[in-house]
Structure 1
Amino acid sequence: MTQILAEWTAFAKKTAPDDGQMSDLALTDHAEPMLYAIARDIETSQSLREQYEKSQGHDADQKESAAATHGRLRQASNFSLLQLSSEFRALRATVLRLWLPGVQQISDTTIDEMVRFNEAIDQALSESIGTFSERQQRTRDLFLAVLGHDLRAPLSTMSLAGELLTRPRAEEQVAELGEKVKRNAILMSTMVIDLLGFARVQMGAGMPILRATVDVQQVCDAALADARAMYPRSSIVFLPCGNLTGLFDAVRLQQMVTNLLINAAQYSAKAQDVTLQAVGTQDSIIIKVKNFGTVISEDAVNTIFQPLVQLAQDDDDDARPKTSLGLGLFIAKETSDAHHGTIDLTSSAAEGTIFTVTLPRAC
C-alpha cells in the first residue's frame, strides 16, 4: 500500500492543474480506502449475474464510495476529466507492475484475480466520473444562473435610465443618467470579456495574445479609467516608476489590470485607498494592486485563482457594484501565464491584500 500510494501521489503531482501547490495529502485524498475497497471486491464471491450487472455499471450500494468522493474532490480541485481518468490508468499499471513479478505461475485463480481487479478499477473509475460530471454540471448551472442574475441588474439600470430620458425636463438629469449608463455598460462589458476568455480557455485554446511594444503606464491609465468609472467613490492611486515599456498584448494586459483593480475596489474597506503600482526593472515589469479589507484566509489563497470562486463580503449593505461571476482573477492568472509571468497574492491585516504580477519584458 505504501509503495502504491507513493507512486499515486507522484503521478498526481505531475498532472495536478495548480502547478504543484496541492499538498501530498490532498493529492492522495481517498486513494487508500479506494484500494482497500478494490481488494475487498476481489475477495468477495461473485455470480455470473453479478459480474454482468457490474460490467453494465449497475451497483446496488447507494452509499457514496471512496472512488465517488475522489471524483467529486478532483472536480473541486479543478482537475480535468482527462486528468482524472489518467490517474486510474496509472493506478492500474502501477498495481499490475508491482503484483505480477510475485506471481510464480499463471493459473485460473491468477487470471480470475486479474479480471476482478480490472473490473474493480473500471467500477471505481465509473463512480469517480459520475460524481465528477454531476458536480461539473451543477457548477455550470450555477454559473449560468449567476450570469443571468448579474447581467439583469445593469440592464435594469440602463433600461430605467432610458425611460427617464424620454420624460419631460430630462435634460436636468442627463449627466447623472449618463454616468449610470456608462458605469453599467463597463460592468457588462467586463463580464462579457471575462466570459469569452473563460470559454476559450475551457475549450483548450488557451489565452490568445498578440505581442507588440507597449507602454504599460498607458495601459494602466486606461484600466484606471474603467475602474474609476465603475467605482467613482473609491480612491485609486497610481504610482508608476521606471521604464514601463515591453512586448505585451495591450488588450489582455488592460483586462488583467482592470480585473485586479475592480476586485480590489469591490473588497476594499470604505475610506481606504486602492493602490496600483507599476515598477520597471531591468528584465521585467512588476504590477502591484493593494487594498485594505477582509484578510483572505490561507485556504482561500489556494483557490482564489480558480474559475467561479468568489469571496464573501462582510458588508451586505454596501451599495458599490459587485461582479460575482468569479472569473476576474482566473482571467488575470491566465493572462499572466500567457505572458510567461507570475501572479502572487499575500494578505494580512497589517500589510493589506496585495496582488503582484511579474511580467518579463520579452520572451
Structure 2
Amino acid sequence: MARYAPAFAEATPIRLSQFILEEMDQILASWDEYALTMTPAADEMSLVALRDHSEEMLRAVAADIESPQTEQERIEKSQGDSEDDPTDSAAADHGHLRHASRFTLIQLSSEFRALRASVLRLWLQQADRSAPAVLEQVIRFNESIDQALSESIITYSARESHSRDMFDAILGHDLRGPLSAITLAAEMLLLEDLPATKAKVLGGRIKSSALYMSSMVGDILEFARIRLGNAPIPVYPEMVELKPICMGAIADAAAMHPHSDIALHIEGDREAWLDANRMRQLLTNLLGNAAQHGTRDRPIDFFVATEDRETVFCIVNEGPDIPQDLLRDIFEPMVRGEPEEEALSHRTTSLGLGLHIAREIAESHGGTIGVESAGQITTFTVRIPGKNAADVAD
C-alpha cells in the first residue's frame, strides 16, 4: 500500500538565533522600556542613546549561538580565557557609553539580566521545550549573554578606574600649585630688609593660595559626605539679606581669582528665604567657575532678582562656549570643560566638584540650577523658591 506524505508538514520550531533576528524590533522595544527605568541617568536620554549598541550586541549573540564550538573552547570561554579582545566589541562599547551616561554598575548589569529574561520568555512561548536542541540553544545563549556582560563590565570598570586615577592626579597637581606658591612666598618673607610693600604683596599671595586650597578641600569633603550619606545637603533657610551673601561670595571668588572683575546687580526685594552660608558657598562656586573659564579681561555680571515666589541668581561671563556634549552632564562630579591633558597643565580648580555641589545646594533649597552657553556667552541661572512657595511644595 502506497504511503502518502501529509498535505501539511509539521512546522519546524524556530531556532533561538533565528528568533532574535526576526523579532529584533520586539526585543528592542522591551529593551527600551526597561532602559527608561534606569533613573536618573536615563531621564534626559534620547531613544537612540538608550538603545546604544543593543542591536549590534543581539546580532553578535545570534551569530555566536550558531558558531561551532568545541568543549575546550566552551571551558575557556567560561573561564574568561577567550582569545577575542574583550574591549573590541559592541558590548564593550556599550559599557564605555553607559559609564559616560552615569549609569551605575548595578544598572548596567540589570540591563543584561532583563534582556536575558525577555528574550527567553518570548522565544520559549514558541519553542518546543521538549526538543533536545532547545537546552543546547539556551546554554549557548546564556554563555553569549554572560560574555557580553563581562565585556561591558571590563570597559565600564576601566573607565571608572581611569576617572579615579585622573581625580588623584588632578588633586595632586592642583594642590601642588598653591603649596609651591605659599612655600616660595614664605621663603621670600624670611629675607632681611624686605620692603613692607613687597611683604604685603606676598602675604596676599599666601592668603589667596590658602583660600584656594581650603575651597578645594571643602569641596572634596562635601562630595564625600554626599556620596557616603547618600542624602541631600542639609539647609536651614530663614529670611536673610541678599547683599551681604552676594558680596561675601564675590570676596571669596576674588580672593581665589584676584584678576576677576565681578559686577553685582540687585533688583527687587533685598531679602530672601535662604540658608545664607550654603547660598554663599553655591554662589562662590559659580563665580569661581566663571572666573576660571571666562575671558580673563572681561567682567563677570552677577544679577540677583526677587520675582514672584522665587529668587533668581544669574552669573554671566564671556568666553569659549561650553561644548554641547558637556552641557547635560556639567553638574555631575568630575566633569570638566576641558580635555584631561589641559586640565593637568592649568593652575585651576579642575576636579569638577564645584558645580556638582552647587546643584546639590540648589536642590536642597527646593530650587533648580541650569546653564546656557552660546555666542561666547555662558549663563548659569539658579532659582530658589520663596518661603510661601516652599511651604506649598512641602
Match for residue 331 of structure 1? 357
Choose the corresponding residue for 2:221, options 196, 210, 225.
Answer: 196
Q: Deviations over 1:130-185 (max 9, x none)?
A: 11111111111111011101100101111111112222123512321121111111
Q: Does 1:12 align with 2:35?
A: yes
Structure 2: how far apart are the matches of 1:285 and 1:331? 19
Q: Does 1:38 align with 2:50?
A: no
Q: Does 1:267 align with 2:293?
A: yes
Choose the corresponding residue for 2:50, options 20, 24, 27.
Answer: 27
Deviation at 1:321, TM superposition (A): 5.6
What are the equivalent positions in structure 2 for 1:33-112 lying under 5 Å apart? Answer: 33-62=56-85, 64-112=88-136
Deviation at 1:14, TM superposition (A): 2.5
Choose the corresponding residue for 1:163, options 187, 206, 211.
Answer: 187
Contact 1:304/1:310 (<8 A) preserved: yes
Change (3 A) 1:159 1:57: same
Amino acid at match of 1:185: A
Percent of pairs with identical residues? 44
Q: Unaligned 5+ residue runs, structure 2?
A: 1-23
Q: Unaligned 5+ residue runs, structure 1?
A: none
Give the TM-score, by structure 1 length. Answer: 0.90
Structure 1: how far apart are the matches of 2:42 and 2:194? 56
Deviation at 1:189, TM superposition (A): 1.3
Contact 2:73/2:82 (<8 A) preserved: no
Deviation at 1:338, TM superposition (A): 3.0
Structure 2: how far apart are the matches of 1:47 and 1:95? 25
Change (3 A) 1:74 1:334: same
Contact 2:233/2:360 (<8 A) preserved: no
Contact 1:244/1:285 (<8 A) preserved: no
Q: Does 1:311 align with 2:334?
A: no
Match for residue 220 of structure 1? 246
Give the TM-score, by structure 2 length. Answer: 0.84
Give the superposed CA RMSD. 2.3
Deviation at 1:244, TM superposition (A): 5.7
Match for residue 347 of structure 1? 373
Q: Deviations over 1:74-121 (max 9, x none)?
A: 112222111111211221222123222222443221122222212211
Deviation at 1:348, TM superposition (A): 1.9
Contact 2:211/2:256 (<8 A) preserved: yes
* Greater Cα offset, 151-160 or 273-282: 273-282
Contact 1:260/1:332 (<8 A) preserved: yes
Change (3 A) 1:217 1:180: same
Structure 2: how far apart are the matches of 1:54 and 1:206? 42
Contact 2:304/2:312 (<8 A) preserved: yes
Choose the corresponding residue for 2:260, options 226, 234, 257.
Answer: 234
Match for residue 145 of structure 1? 169
Change (3 A) 1:197 1:4: farther
Contact 1:244/1:278 (<8 A) preserved: no
Amino acid at match of 1:333: R
Q: Deviations over 1:323-359 (max 9, x none)?
A: 1112222222232233332211111227x21011112
Deviation at 1:267, TM superposition (A): 1.9
Structure 2: how far apart are the matches of 1:34 and 1:132? 16
Deviation at 1:16, TM superposition (A): 4.6
Deviation at 1:247, TM superposition (A): 4.8
Choose the corresponding residue for 1:131, options 134, 151, 155.
Answer: 155
Structure 2: how far apart are the matches of 1:8 and 1:200? 35
Amino acid at match of 2:44: Q
SS at match of 1:5: helix
Contact 1:71/1:127 (<8 A) preserved: yes
Structure 1: how far apart are the matches of 2:77 and 2:318? 56
SS at match of 1:238: strand
Structure 1: how far apart are the matches of 2:378 and 2:304? 16
Change (3 A) 1:335 1:208: same
* Greater Cα offset, 142-151 or 300-309: 300-309
Deviation at 1:204, TM superposition (A): 5.6
Structure 2: how far apart are the matches of 1:99 and 1:283? 56
Structure 2: how far apart are the matches of 1:345 and 1:274? 15
* Greater Cα offset, 63-72 or 301-310: 301-310
Choose the corresponding residue for 2:211, options 167, 179, 186.
Answer: 186
Amino acid at match of 1:184: S
Contact 1:307/1:326 (<8 A) preserved: yes
Choose the corresponding residue for 1:208, options 225, 229, 233.
Answer: 233
Structure showing greater radius of gyration is 2
Match for residue 7 of structure 2? none
